[in-house]
Structure 1
Amino acid sequence: MYVADSRASRAGSADGSARDASRPGRRAALAPTVFALGTVSLITDVSSEMVSAILPLYLVVGLGLSPLGFGLLDGVYNGVSALVRLVGGHLADRGDGRHKTVAVLGYGLSALCKPLLLLAHTLPLIGAVLAADRTGKGLRTAPRDALISLSSAPEARGRAFGVHRAMDTAGALLGPLAAFLILRATVDGYDAVFMVSFCVAAVGVVVLVLFVPGRRAVAVPRAPEPHPEPEKAPTLRAAFRLLREPGVRRITLCATLLGLATVSDSFVFLLLQRRLGVPDRWFALLPLGTAAAFLLLAVPLGWVADRIGRLRVFLAGHGALLVAYGLLLWSGSGSGSRSGVVSGFGSVIAVLLLHGAFYAATDGVLMAAASDQVPARLRSSGLALVQTGQALARFVCSLTFGAAWTAWGDRTALTGSLVALAVCALFCLKVNPWREPV
């Protein structure tokens, strides 16, 4: 963080990063805001991934939920944030300097929900707590990504989001490991995980308050925006009006369609456990494989996206997910023999690596691509619009996948998702969504 500060101070002006990037052979230095927000996300993800790593097993094995019931809760966990992302983005855009305020509110709400899981033991109560937690995530995501985008030169946004996502994923790597160690060291393991998660999340909020600059303090590179900025205060109507722009419309459409066929992480880990026989005691470590691949690939793929086109990399990431689904369908037989065990272990590793590559090629890259199409004054609202479409689609996918698993079994449900993902990817290729400035 402090290395970035010194580079920024030598730039000497708000548009110094843009001028530095224009010199041959030089790359724009990333702003301190990127590293500060990356630190917050790293700490917060340690907290959230501690809970996410054990939640599927806690609900399905511990509380005995059916796949349909889990699909409903998983949909709430991943989809409720879609209902408030536009609100969070709108509130952040309404006044100069509100991006940090809205982000603090979102991070704080999520932190307060962690100890409430100690008191929730029924489906309605657990659903309410998870909904509140995801409300906090929905409030904070767009303002945070807007701060990253606004503090980065346009030609370096893919790398900036890649660095942030890599730091975020370092926390996702540590969270499941912490949960695994706590479960092995304590008697009431789940309760201990929830309480430690709350303490870590509180530290993340403190770091955000003390070290992340507000919107007014962010040095915005002086680069031409794709659309003229409105003179009036931003409104929700103005945010939805962005869909009239071809670039925003194509990106939102493709993100939404592909989200309809993106099986949630929790279901992927449950499929690995059931189809490939991963023991319950190792279940909390499965997210480590995804996080490790994400951590290693986020920055390189962000750099590649800046060079060859961000949405090309985005669609390639869904190709990796398609291969992961195929491996899950193909694997799972012959696990009783020695060769079957070896093959099963190799399949687990391959699926987790492909799963992490999918996130590295899509998460930050999509936000960088959308940032190219949205004016600075509506940056939070515009990014929230894309995120909302994607999150709602994944909410529908969780419900549909859980219902299909309950009715026809996991193999049929996964086959349907694979076919749907292939069809949506082919449609997006036809739409040609990568016609954006790079």
Structure 2
Amino acid sequence: MYLADRSAPSPSPADTGAPPDRGSLRTPAVTSAVLALGTVSLITDVSSEMVTAVLPLYLIAGLGLSPLGFGALDGLYNGVSALVQLTGGHLADRVRNHKLIAGIGYGLSALCKPLLLLAHSLGPISVILALERTGKGLRTAPRDAMISLSTPAELQGRAFGVHRAMDTTGALLGPLAAFLVLSVAVDGYDAVFGVSACVAVLGVVVLLLFVPSGGGAAVPPLPSGGDGARPEPVRLRDATALLRLPRLRALALCAVLLGLTTVSDAFVYLLLQRRTGIGEQWFPLLPLGTAAVFLLLAVPAGALADRIGRRTVFLTGHALLLAGYGLLLWAPGWPPLPYLVLALHGMFYAATDGVLPAAVAATVPGRLRATGLALVGTGQALARFGCSLAFGAAWSLWGTGPALAAAAAGLLCCAAVAGVVLRPAAPADSPVLPDLDLDLDSDSDPDPKPVRPPV
């Protein structure tokens, strides 16, 4: 089974007959490109989470927006982010410059932060937030493609784990920074938006100066048209043909199924608060509990996925989430319950958030890497958005207990289906393109040459 598409294969010592050079075979566990991209994400998340931490209060208390209106606005701009991922992924592969498209995405998000200082009504703020989410959508797939293309196949789970850990560090620091700014500034909200804008610009500067073009690895060359004169461009039909890859199709299907039964974080925290009677003053700290566990375990979970198989770790993460649902439904209201639920919630993200893109990267040719990541990421994001709408409706109609029980039953069924669908594929299962139908759990790692998907 192939774990990745290598853009520049080189003969192994066994192929050449030369004795292995242990010094030359030793590669860093995490490349400098991954660390640079992680730093960019950390800085950008500090900026974004500063705004996110104060935005609900600013819109509801400051501008008089109703909670229902805020929920609709939140869903709208998160949906925009999910859909724009497809555009960002395809553009990055088409122009053969992942750093350029990611930079445009980061730059657009940074530009929106100071605009919040000028907007004082719901209409302009909605437009600014939609543009900010557009920037996030543009940068996500090219960034993940750079991570995968700069990392050896057998270390991609660890690389994504390191990136997600650094990203989560920013998510932890952002609300704390907003709290500090609000406590010392006279015009609190404007001060938060201003500081956030400066931090976002710093993230763009780090991207431009320290992230190598192509993410630190050469992007696989495009196949020529036969005369060697001009490389064949990446076309839209090449992107849609990716879904003909059985393994990518299986991953996309499972990501959507499991996303449809993954209750959003906000609902989990509300359920936990109601279940345990946590005081309202402590409610804003609940996301920090999940983020702290995620930060601690993201790298070990990614390394474990590289060692024992990404399918196993990915499904285990959903089993941990199911256990958290079970505690919320049936556990007695004893003091350790909030800590256990938050720990399981953070472990779920550690076992899935970086492992899924690592698995997707293993199935997609390098020249279409960003597009493949965007396809799966968009499907998962839209499915989770649909789950939020369905869970909110079920809560209103049935109450919290039946709604969560239905979500848990759905998650159990979907996880069982995913366990079957993601079984390691036999070699005979890929008669058309055996070097593109990649498996998740093999220890072998041949070096296939890039091949354009069938069209």
- TM-score by length of structure 2 reads 0.80
Is the partner of 2:353 in helix, strand or coil?
helix
**Residue 391 (structure 2) aligns with:** 401
* Compared CA separation, residues 205 and 289, structure 1 to 2 (3 A): same
AA in 1 matched with 2:217: A
**Residue 435 (structure 2) aligns with:** none
Per-residue CA distance 1:221-257 (angstroms, 9 max, x = gap): 99xx9xx999621122211211111110000100111
Q: Which moved more, 1:203-212 or 1:125-134?
A: 125-134
Contact 1:179/1:284 (8 A) holds in 2: no
Q: CA deviation at 1:142?
A: 0.5
Per-residue CA distance 1:320-348 (angstroms, 9 max, x = gap): 111222223346x8xxxxxx6xx35x222
Q: CA deviation at 1:56?
A: 5.0
Is the partner of 1:320 in helix, strand or coil?
helix
* Compared CA separation, residues 323 and 375, structure 1 to 2 (3 A): same
**Residue 83 (structure 1) aligns with:** 83
* Compared CA separation, residues 193 and 420, structure 1 to 2 (3 A): farther
Q: CA deviation at 1:162?
A: 1.1
Q: CA deviation at 1:374?
A: 0.2
1:104-115 alignment runs, 5 A limit: 104-115=103-114
* Alpha-carbon distance in 2 for matches of 1:268, 1:229: 51
Per-residue CA distance 1:173-231 (angstroms, 9 max, x = gap): 2122223333444565444433322221121111111111111x723599xx9xx9996
Q: Of the candidates 371, 375, 378, which is equivalent to residue 365 of structure 2?
A: 375
1:348 aligns to 2:338 (yes or no): yes
* Alpha-carbon distance in 2 for matches of 1:131, 1:175: 20
* Alpha-carbon distance in 2 for matches of 1:204, 1:318: 33
**Residue 150 (structure 2) aligns with:** 151
Q: Which blocks of at least 5 consecutive residues in structure 2 are unaligned? A: 1-7, 14-19, 226-230, 426-438, 443-455
AA in 2 matched with 1:218: G
Is the partner of 1:417 in helix, strand or coil?
helix
Is the partner of 1:321 in helix, strand or coil?
helix
1:138 aligns to 2:128 (yes or no): no
* Alpha-carbon distance in 2 for matches of 1:269, 1:287: 8
* Compared CA separation, residues 42 and 330, structure 1 to 2 (3 A): same
**Residue 350 (structure 2) aligns with:** 360
Q: CA deviation at 1:431?
A: 1.6
Per-residue CA distance 1:64-84 (angstroms, 9 max, x = gap): 634x54443332243221211
* Compared CA separation, residues 380 and 170, structure 1 to 2 (3 A): same
AA in 1 matched with 2:132: D
* Compared CA separation, residues 108 and 176, structure 1 to 2 (3 A): same
Contact 1:71/1:401 (8 A) holds in 2: no
Contact 1:70/1:402 (8 A) holds in 2: no
AA in 1 matched with 2:385: F
1:200-279 alignment runs, 5 A limit: 200-215=199-214, 218-220=216-218, 232-279=232-279
**Residue 308 (structure 2) aligns with:** 308
Q: CA deviation at 1:272?
A: 3.3
Per-residue CA distance 1:88-125 (angstroms, 9 max, x = gap): 011111123x2111111111222233344456666655
Contact 1:229/1:375 (8 A) holds in 2: no
1:65 aligns to 2:66 (yes or no): yes
Q: Which moved more, 1:363-372 or 1:409-418?
A: 409-418
* Compared CA separation, residues 83 and 425, structure 1 to 2 (3 A): same
AA in 2 matched with 1:143: P
* Alpha-carbon distance in 2 for matches of 1:434, 1:229: 33
Q: Of the candidates 402, 424, 431, which is equivalent to residue 414 of structure 2?
A: 424
* Alpha-carbon distance in 2 for matches of 1:187, 1:416: 47
**Residue 179 (structure 2) aligns with:** 180
**Residue 44 (structure 1) aligns with:** 44
Contact 2:181/2:191 (8 A) holds in 1: yes
Is the partner of 1:263 in helix, strand or coil?
coil
* Compared CA separation, residues 27 and 229, structure 1 to 2 (3 A): farther
Please tell me the root mean square deviation across aligned C-alpha atoms, in Å: 3.2
State the identity %: 63
* Compared CA separation, residues 125 and 213, structure 1 to 2 (3 A): same
Q: Which moved more, 1:200-209 or 1:276-285?
A: 276-285
**Residue 32 (structure 1) aligns with:** 32
AA in 1 matched with 2:328: L
* Compared CA separation, residues 240 and 220, structure 1 to 2 (3 A): same
* Alpha-carbon distance in 1 for matches of 2:187, 2:402: 36
Contact 1:71/1:402 (8 A) holds in 2: no
Q: Which blocks of at least 5 consecutive residues in structure 1 are unaligned? A: 1-13, 334-339
Contact 2:161/2:355 (8 A) holds in 1: yes
Is the partner of 2:27 in helix, strand or coil?
coil
AA in 1 matched with 2:41: S
* Alpha-carbon distance in 1 for matches of 2:319, 2:197: 36
1:87-102 alignment runs, 5 A limit: 87-96=87-96, 98-102=97-101
* Alpha-carbon distance in 1 for matches of 2:48, 2:368: 29
Contact 1:176/1:288 (8 A) holds in 2: no
**Residue 448 (structure 2) aligns with:** none
Contact 1:251/1:433 (8 A) holds in 2: no
Per-residue CA distance 1:25-57 (angstroms, 9 max, x = gap): 976312210110011011111122223334456
* Alpha-carbon distance in 1 for matches of 2:408, 2:196: 34
* Alpha-carbon distance in 2 for matches of 1:122, 1:399: 26
* Compared CA separation, residues 122 and 61, structure 1 to 2 (3 A): same
Q: Report the structure, 1 or 2, having the larger helix content.
A: 1
**Residue 128 (structure 1) aligns with:** 127
Contact 1:260/1:397 (8 A) holds in 2: yes
AA in 1 matched with 2:352: T
Contact 2:219/2:366 (8 A) holds in 1: no
* Alpha-carbon distance in 2 for matches of 1:212, 1:23: 28
* Alpha-carbon distance in 2 for matches of 1:61, 1:264: 24
Of structures 1 and 2, the larger Rg is shown by: 2
Q: CA deviation at 1:85?
A: 0.9
Q: CA deviation at 1:353?
A: 1.5
